[in-house]
C-alpha cells in the first residue's frame, strides 16, 4: 500500500473535522490546504461541511 503523507494528513483532518474535534480552519491547516480547498475535498469524500444533527437544526429553526 502506497499512501502519500499528504493524503494521510487529509484523511486525518477530514475525520477529526467530521467528529467535531477540529474546526474547518484547523482541519485545513492540518491538511495543508486552504479552507476553500478543504471544503471542496470534503465534498468529494461525502463529508458534510455542516456539523449539525437534526435536533440542532430544528432548534435553530425554532429560534429564527
| pTM across the whole model | 0.73
Residues in the chain: 64
The answer to whether 25 touches 35, Cβ cutoff 8 Å, is: yes
Kindly report, residue by residue over 25-52, the tens digit of the pLDDT: 999 999 999 999 999 999 888 888 876 6
Q: Where do the structural domains in the chain lie, given as residue ranges?
A: 5-63
Name the region of 39 (left: φ>0; alpha: ψ -120 to 50; beta: rest). Answer: alpha
Residue whose C-alpha is closest to residue 12's, from 28, 36, 25, 1: 28
User: Which positions ≥6 away from 25 have C-beta within 8 Å?
Assistant: 35
Amino acid at each position: 500500500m502506497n499512501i502519500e503523507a499528504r493524503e494521510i494528513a487529509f484523511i486525518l483532518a477530514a475525520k477529526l473535522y467530521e467528529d467535531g474535534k477540529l474546526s474547518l480552519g484547523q482541519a485545513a491547516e492540518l491538511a495543508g490546504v486552504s479552507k476553500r480547498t478543504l471544503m471542496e475535498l470534503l465534498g468529494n469524500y461525502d463529508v458534510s461541511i455542516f456539523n449539525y444533527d437534526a435536533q440542532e437544526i430544528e432548534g435553530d429553526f425554532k429560534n429564527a
